[in-house]
Structure 1
Amino acid sequence: MKFSEVEEATWSELSPYFDTCLIPYTGLSGKESPIEATEALARLRDFMDLVEIPFKGRIITYPAVQYGQGEDLSLLQEVCRNVREAGFAYIIVMTADIELIQGKIEGCDLVLSRKVYNEETGGAGIAGQIKDKIQEMWQRDSKKEM
């Protein structure tokens, strides 16, 4: 579910079910032509479908962090910390064009980078791997609570 689809009157009732925040990271530099920027956003949108569609009832997608090419992740880390303070138990960062690896972003529970998945799998089976990674993240924390 996208943040803009949430209605104020129902959020307090629904919020316990939405424990995971998805933060899209475009990684634009500002040097892209309008066509290149549009293509980057389309790649990210298509990659995000692999999470948003199967997990619609549990994940809220926040607005994208558009700029930054992975060198300085301080803004992205601050956004992760802030959404955690807002009450989300899990934070996922997704990017289509920037190679981010798990552990590089403080405050983030899971990094999903299309570039990493394409290199590891040759593009095949990405949807299943992403689904498994998300479920592992949820199960890992539920085992800690036991």
Structure 2
Amino acid sequence: MKFSEVEASGWEELRPYLDTCLIPVTGLTGLEQPHEVTEKLERLKGVMDWVEIPFKGRVVTYPSFQYAGDRLSQTINEVCENVKRSGFVYAIVISADLDWADEELPNADLIVTPGRFSDSEGGTTAGRVKEKVQHLWTTGSRV
């Protein structure tokens, strides 16, 4: 569910079920040509589908960080902390083109990038991501 689909009048009723915030990161630099921006956004959408499709009804997708900068990881980490303060239990950071070490985003409960879920591990990438999200929810611990 996108943030814009949640109406103020229904939020309190939905809050117990929508406990996970997805924070997408495009990572544009401004140096991309228009077709490259389109390609990056399409790749991000593909990675977002690994979580949004199987878990519709439990996750809320917040607006994307479109541009990368010197403090990007610090800013994303602050947003993860803030969405939890606002009532979300889990924050998942998703990017198709950027990656971070766990230590860079300690407030993220899961970081989903293609590099973290390579095909060499067996099974489908989407299936492995689904397992990690379910593990997060059942154990409550960062994965």
1:60 Cα shift? 0.5
- Consecutive unaligned residues of structure 2, counting only runs of 5 or more, are none
Paired positions, count? 141
Q: Given that residues 27 and 70 in structure 1 are in contact (C-alpha distance below 8 angstroms), is that contact kept between their aligned partners in structure 2?
A: no
Q: Given that residues 21 and 62 in structure 2 are in contact (C-alpha distance below 8 angstroms), is that contact kept between their aligned partners in structure 1?
A: yes
Deviations 1:92-124 (A, max 9, x none): 001101122334212110001113323x53896
| Structure 1 residue aligned with 2:113 | 113
Q: Percent identity?
A: 48
| SS of residue paired to 1:43 | helix
Give the TM-score, by structure 2 length: 0.89
- Consecutive unaligned residues of structure 1, counting only runs of 5 or more, are none
| Structure 1 residue aligned with 2:138 | 139
Separation of aligned partners in 1, 2:28 and 2:61: 19
| Structure 2 residue aligned with 1:129 | 128
Change (3 A) 1:23 1:70: farther
Q: Given that residues 22 and 93 in structure 1 are in contact (C-alpha distance below 8 angstroms), is that contact kept between their aligned partners in structure 2?
A: yes
| SS of residue paired to 2:140 | helix
Q: Given that residues 69 and 98 in structure 1 are in contact (C-alpha distance below 8 angstroms), is that contact kept between their aligned partners in structure 2?
A: no
Give the TM-score, by structure 1 length: 0.87
Taking only aligned residues, the RMSD between alpha carbons, in angstroms, comes to 2.1
Separation of aligned partners in 1, 2:17 and 2:10: 12
Change (3 A) 1:75 1:49: same
Change (3 A) 1:101 1:48: same
